[in-house]
Every structure is written in C-alpha cells, then in structure tokens.
Amino acid sequence: MSTATDLCPASLADMTMADPAVNACPYAYYAGLHAEAPVHYDARMGLWLVTRHADVVEACRNWEVFSSHIDMRRDVSTVNPAESDQLFLREGWLVADVLSQVDPPRHTMFRRMVERLFTGPVVKRMHAYLDEHVLELIAGFEQRGSADFLGEFALLLPLDVIADQLGLPRSDGALLRRWSDAFITSFDPTITAARKLECARTILEFQRYFVAWRTRKTEQPGDDLLSMLVAARRDDGAPLATEEYLALCAQLMVAGSETTRNHLLAMMLMLCDDQALQQRLRAEPMQVPRFVEESLRLEAPAQGLYRRCTRSFALGGVVIPEGAIVMVMFGAANRDPLAFPDPGDLDLARPNSNRHLAFGYGIHSCIGRTLATEELNLAVRRLLERLGTIRLASDHPRPTHLFHFNMRALSSMPIEFEVLPRPTGDSQTPA
C-alpha cells in the first residue's frame, strides 16, 4: 500500500485548488492527479482530494466511513469561529448541522421533510409554469439584440423558482442572493477572519427574516416549503428547533439558486464559443437534454464537497487516515478518462454522459436534480429558439471565473444576438 506522498510527483505536490491560476482552470491539474495521484493529499490546504469516478462513487456510497458530519466552522476553515459564534449566540442562532451536513438517521429525517416537493411528478407539474417564466424573462430582452445574461436571466430564473417554492415574494430575490453569497463565502476555506465576521452579520439578517416568515407561515400556511418546515415533526415528534429550521432554509436557498445560476452561465459560454453547436441544437432541439448533461459533466458547478474519514480507510490504493478531511471531487471524476474517454470533449453521442457526478451520488445526491435539469433544459431550448446567433458581447472583456475554492462560477455574461421575428400569435411585449 502506498502513501500519498510516495505517489505524488513534486510538481503536483506544489499545486493546489487554492492557487487562483489552478482554480481558474483546474482541468490540467485533475488530469495530472488522475495519472499520478488519484487520491492526493493537498498539504497546503490539509485536505485529501479524491478524483477518480470509481473512488468518488465508493466514497459517496460508503457514508459511514466518509461522513458528511463535518464541523464546517472548525474542520474546514482556518479561521477561528469563536468571534462569529459569539455574535450568533448574542444576536441570533448558531448555524446548525442539517441535511447535507449530517449522516443517517438525522439525514434521513431531514431529507424526508423536504423531498416531497422535488419528486419527478411534482416537477412534471411545474413544466408549464417554468416554461412560462423562462419565456417571460427572455421577453425582457429578446428585441434588444443584447443582454446582461447574468442579471437578466441566469440570476433571476433560479432565484424566482426557489422563492416561489419557499413561499416567499419574488421581490425579495436580491436579499436571498445576498444571503446565499454570505453562506457560500463563509464556508470558503481560504476566507479571512474579517470577511468571516462580515458574513456572520449578513447571516444574522437572514435569520431575522426567516424567523419572521415562520410566524407568518404558522398563522397562514400555504402549499410551500416554508409551511412544510413549520408543520414538520422530528422523529421524536417535536417541531424543528429554530436553528434546524434556519439551517434547512439556508441549504434550500443556497442549493436552489447558486448552482443553477452558475451552470446557466457555463452553458451560455459553451454556446457562445461554439457556433456549430448552437446551430446543431437549434436544428435538433431533441439534443438539448444531451447537451445539458454533457455540460454538467464538463463544468460541474460544485467541483467538490467535503467528507470526514471516520476511520483509516484504503481508497484507490492509498490509506486515508482517521479524522482526515476529504474532498470528493465531482468535477474531476467527471473528467476521469477511465469513465469517460476523451473526457474534455463535448460529445452529444456519449453513451454514458448522464453517469456524471455533478449532482453528487448516494444518500446526499442532489434533491433538486430533476428540477434543476428541467430549468436548464427549458432555458437552453427557449433561448436558442428566441435568440438568433448568440455571441459574447464584443465590447466587453471575456467572462472569467471567480475565485472560489470548490465552486465554478463565471463573473459576468454580456451577450449579443440576432433579433428574430416574434412567433405568430405571441402577444408578449418586451419590458
């Protein structure tokens, strides 16, 4: 059995996802890891990276060894959380571990509380509503020939949908975005102490808002996620504690908006960069679902997520010690040449594209997969139908990736396109 340092050549040992250059385009790094050190210890971050498809599947399947129960504040961040914890204790609630951060039986209990609103039949019933909203957003810019695709579409679609599902006014979308960003940033292992405290102050705003809505939903329940959480009972028959309610709201808000937004941007960049692909998808819209799956494989919005090794375990021929923090690298697994030949190619005929791990795998796999896939498919289909020849705006710099340790997010997406005649019978007027 080898140790990670035996396997890792010097150049790889010096590289890390925390390096902005590697982070901006990590795929050569992943290819190096696949070839030389598929289970790799990143000494700078104190993290084990698991990069092969088969190993990521094994780790996600074996939740008893690769636990999701991690104290994100202490195990992952290098910043001492004492100051922000005191702020939460004084003015709000400590951030509780729920759903994606716990193991069974607690995980099963929380998942049961929310999964009802994300099943295939429920999403199927949402089809007309989602399609209508996609068209409404496109109508806001389709006659203009240019758009801020981030601000006018990618940001709004998932935020509006999650606001509707939670039972909150769409007009509060800007607040939800601000709070989602604060959660994401506060879990970044490269965060500074000052930024962490700033995030904690923003999270307190989120807590006050959602506690106020809990009171409203208790008095006037609806058919929405917040009302379901208010009515939910734990396995011991008790209602959710305030900390648990808030943490579930936070996970749904963040997961429901950030990843979908980032992937809408990633897909738009792929389409702008490949006019032949655009033409093909316009001519053969039935290929759009294949494009969506391939794009998720190539540019997984969550490149990796954390696990904690509960006991020393040999994975991919390398022993990971007990207590180690592991990152299951979905983005790397999706480009594993053993699972996907020519992994960097976007191949609409790839027979196994949907075996990608962009939505995770196992008990924690994405609860919103069907919903997100429906949003992404409808968006691509309608955008290509309503906008001709889409390109990156010529008078703006090319969009770049924002630095985030394990998320993939583009900074902006100004586009230009050919204005097409409105389909007959369409009465929508542009905003």
- Binding residues (CB under 6 A) for ligand HEM: these are 68, 99-100, 111, 162, 251-252, 255-256, 259-260, 263, 301-302, 305, 330, 358-360, 364-368, 371-372
Least distance to ligand HEM, CB of residue 418, Å: 28
Kindly state the smallest distance separating residue 353's Cβ from ligand HEM, in Å.
14
Contacts of residue 132, defined as CB under 8 A and 6 or more positions apart, other chains included, come to none
As a whole number of angstroms, the longest Cα–Cα distance in the chain is 69
Q: Which is nearer to ligand HEM, 240 or 366 (CB)?
A: 366
CB of 202 closer than 8 Å to CB of 95? no
Distance of closest approach, residue 330 Cβ to ligand HEM, in angstroms: 6
Q: Can you spell out the DSSP letters for 203-269?
A: HHHHHHHHHHHHHHHHHS--SSHHHHHHH-B-TTSPBPPHHHHHHHHHHHHHHHHHHHHHHHHHHHH
In the complex with ligand HEM, the residue whose CB is nearer, 56 or 393, is 56
* Phi, psi (deg, nearest 5) at residue 41: -95, 115
- How far apart CA 238 and CA 322 sit, in angstroms, is 34
Nearest-CB residue for ligand HEM: 368
CB of 145 to ligand HEM, least distance (A): 28
User: Among residues 99 and 265, whose Cβ is nearest to ligand HEM?
Assistant: 99
Closer CB to ligand HEM, residue 355 or residue 391?
355
- Measured from the CB atom, the residue of 375 and 416 that comes closer to ligand HEM is 375
Q: Which amino acid is at 207?
A: Q
DSSP 8-state code for residue 355? G
* Residue 147 bridge partners (DSSP): 415
Nearer to ligand HEM, 84 or 257 (CB): 257
According to DSSP, the residues that pair with 387 across neighbouring strands are 419
Q: Which residues of 102-112 are buried (b: 16+ CB within 10 A; e: fewer)?
A: bbeebbebbbe
Nearer to ligand HEM, 358 or 390 (CB): 358
Give whichever of 7 and 130 is closer to ligand HEM, judged by the CB atom.
130
Nearer to ligand HEM, 198 or 243 (CB): 243
Nearest to 94 by CA among 106, 107, 83: 83
Residues 303/331, Cβ–Cβ less than 8 Å? yes
Query: What is d(CA 408, CA 208) in angstroms, rounded to the nearest whole number?
Result: 30
Give 116's contacts (C-beta < 8 A, 6+ positions apart). Answer: 122, 228
Q: Omega before 105 cis (within 30°)? A: yes
- Taking the C-alpha atoms of residue 402 and residue 20, their distance in angstroms, rounded to an integer, is 9
Q: Report in angstroms the alpha-carbon separations of 367 from 112, 251, 269, 274, 324.
A: 11, 11, 26, 31, 27
Nearer to ligand HEM by C-beta: 176 or 372?
372
Residue 33: CB minimum distance to ligand HEM, A? 19
- Nearest-5° Cα angle at 276, 272 to 278: 55
Could you tell me the smallest distance in angstroms from the CB atom of residue 388 to ligand HEM?
Answer: 26
State the minimum distance, in angstroms, from the CB of residue 252 to ligand HEM: 5
Q: How far is the CB of 422 from ligand HEM (least distance, A)?
A: 30
CB of 335 to ligand HEM, least distance (A): 15
* Closest approach of ligand HEM to the CB of residue 194, in Å: 28
CB of 302 to ligand HEM, least distance (A): 4
Q: Residue 17 or residue 302: which is nearer to ligand HEM going by CB?
A: 302
The rounded distance, in Å, linking the Cα atoms of 196 and 186 is 6
Report the length, in residues, of the chain.
431
Instruction: Decide if 200 contacts 190 (C-beta within 8 A).
Output: no
